[in-house]
Structure 1
Amino acid sequence: MKIVLNGEPREVRAETLSGLLEECGFSGRVATAVNEDFVPSSLRIGHRLADGDRVEVVAPMQGG
């Protein structure tokens, strides 16, 4: 399916948000949003993706 991941068009096989994170190599603590709606980590496994979804994945950064 075709989605937009962090502003870049991408073709993926994953059907859920947790599957997408695994497929794209995201690990550790990240925040996720689909179509501008925050998705908590506890709901990612059941959050089904649809063609054209806009997914944002951000990781905390240290420093200052």
Structure 2
Amino acid sequence: MNTNSNQIQLLVNGQPCRVSFNRLSELLERYAEGLYAVAVNQQFIPREDYPRVTLKNNDTVEILMPMQGG
């Protein structure tokens, strides 16, 4: 079995994702652009807290983009 102990498994917008970092801000640099809101394990995270949030193995992250239309 080939597992890397430096990686954590996340669920990002319903998709499995394995990453080698644990900061929410790093995840957002790679997976989000523009305006968005974020929830980790169904908890809304204020933008100013992004750099302080540490992700753990099996966390669920939802990155929500605004929708236009009507």
**TM-score, normalising length: structure 1:** 0.90
Identify unmatched segments of 5+ residues in structure 2.
1-7
Aligned length: 63
Identity of aligned residues (%): 40
Q: Could you tell me how far 1:46 is from its partner in structure 2? A: 0.6
Query: Aligned-pair RMSD on alpha carbons?
Result: 0.9
Identify unmatched segments of 5+ residues in structure 1.
none
- Of residues 11, 24, 27, the one that matches 1:4 is 11
Residue in structure 1 matched with residue 67 of structure 2 by the alignment? 61
- Of residues 5, 14, 20, the one that matches 2:27 is 20
Q: Could you tell me how far 1:63 is from its partner in structure 2? A: 1.2
Residue in structure 1 matched with residue 56 of structure 2 by the alignment? 50
Greater C-alpha radius of gyration: 2
After the TM superposition, list the runs of 4 or more consecutive aligned residues in structure 1 that deviate by more than 2 angstroms. none
**TM-score, normalising length: structure 2:** 0.83
